[in-house]
Amino acid sequence: MGFSKDNLKGVLLALLSSGFIGASFIIKKKGLRKAAAASGVRAGYGGYSYLLEPLWWVGFITMIVGEIANFVAYAFAPAVLVTPLGALSIIVSAVLAHFILKERLHRLGVLGCVMCISGSVIIVIHAPQEHSITSVLEIWSMATQPAFLLYVGSVIVLVFILVFHFVPQCGHTNVLVFTGICSLMGSLSVMSVKALGTALKLTFEGKNQLIYPETWFFMLVVATCVITQMNYLNKALDTFNTAVVSPIYYVMFTTLAIIASVIMFKDWDDQSGAAIISEICGFIVVLCGTIILHSTREFDRSSSFRGSYIPVSPSLSTRLCNGNGELLKHEEENGSPSEEICLRRPELY
C-alpha cells in the first residue's frame, strides 16, 4: 500500500480505537443492565444507579482509551485515512452484541449497516483537508462568524425541543430521539475538541495558548457537550438494541460533525463540484441506511427492553409488542399471548 511509518501508526491506532469504542458499548450496556436489576430503575427512565456499577465504569474507561487512541491517530495520519476506520466500531459492537448480549440483527439490518458505513466512507473520502491553524484566536474568529453562530443556535433549539417535547412523548419508542440529542451535541463537541486540541498542540510547541480565555471557554463547551452526550447515550443504549444504536449514532454524529466543520472552516470553498456532489450522494446513502436500520427494529426479537420497567400508552402497545423483541421473548418463555401483554402494559402507570 505504500504506507509511511507515520501512516501505519495512525491506521493501527485507529483500528485499536475502533476495537475499544465498539467494546465499550457492550460493556457499558451490561453495566446498565446490572444496575437496573439491582435498583429497579433504568437509566432510560432517569435512573443513575449505573454510576455505582463498576462494570459501567470499565466500559466508560474503555471508551476513553479508544477516544484517546483515535485522537492520537490524527497526529500521525490524515483525517481522510483515520475517520472512515471509525466505522469499524459499529461492526465490533454488533458482533459482540450478537455473542454477549444475544442481540440479533436481521439481514435487512445488515444491509442498512453496510449502506451507513459505505455512505459515511464516501462522505469522508471526498471531505476537504483541514486548514492549518496557528492560533486559538483564529479558531475563535471562525466560531463567531454569523453562519456558524446560526448553526449553534439551531442545534441548541433542536436539542431543547427534543429534550422537553419529544423525549416525554416518544423518547423510549423512537431511537432517533436520544441519538439525535447525542449527535447534535456531539457536532459542537467536535468543533470544541478541535479548538482545544489545537490550543494544546500549539502550547506544547512553545506557543502558549492557555493565556487566552477562549481556550478555557472551549474547554467548558467540551465538558458540557460530553456530559450531555454521555447521559443520553446511556438512555439510548439502555432502551434500544445496541446493534441499532451504534450505526445510527455513528451516521448522525459523523454527518452533523462534517456539516459543522464545513460551516465553521468553509471547507467547500476550495472543493470542486464533483467532490461536493459525491459528498451529497454519500449523505443520501447514509440516510437510506438509517431508515432501513430503524425499520428493522420492528422485526428485532432481541431488544434490550424489560417489560416490567416500561410504561407505555395504549396507542403504542401494539407497536411495542410487535417491535420489542424482549417482550416477544418474554411472551414465548411464559406462554402468554401477546394480546394479554399489550392489554396489561398501560396498567403500569
User: If we measure between CA atoms, which residue out of 319, 328, 315, 313 comes closest to residue 294?
Assistant: 319
* Residues 292-346 pLDDT 10s: 765 664 445 444 444 333 333 333 333 333 333 443 334 443 443 433 333 333 3
Give residue 304's pLDDT. 42
CA separation for the pair 287, 269 (Å, rounded): 24
Residue 221 predicted with pLDDT over 70: yes
**Going by C-beta distance under 8 Å and a sequence separation of 6 or more, which residues neighbour residue 327?**
303, 305, 307, 320, 321, 338, 341
Determine the angle formed by the axes of helices 242-265 and 273-296, rounding to 10 degrees.
160
Q: How confident is the model at residue 254 (pLDDT cuts 50, 70, 90)?
A: confident
Cα separations in angstroms, 129 against 186, 198, 261, 266: 20, 15, 11, 11
* Residues 29-74 pLDDT 10s: 888 888 888 777 776 666 677 788 889 899 999 999 998 887 767 6
Q: Is the dihedral of CA 3, 8, 12, 14 positive or negative?
A: negative
Domain boundaries, the chain: 1-129, 133-269
Residue 185 predicted with pLDDT over 90: yes
On average, the pLDDT of the chain sits at 75
> With b meaning 16 or more CB within 10 Å and e meaning fewer, what string describes 271-304?
beeeeeebbeebbebbbebbebbbebbeebebbb
* Residues 113-160 pLDDT 10s: 788 778 777 876 776 665 677 888 998 999 999 999 999 999 999 999
Give residue 213's pLDDT. 94
> Which of 75-84, 226-235, 263-272 is predicted most confidently?
226-235
The pTM of the full predicted model, rounded to 2 decimals, is 0.64
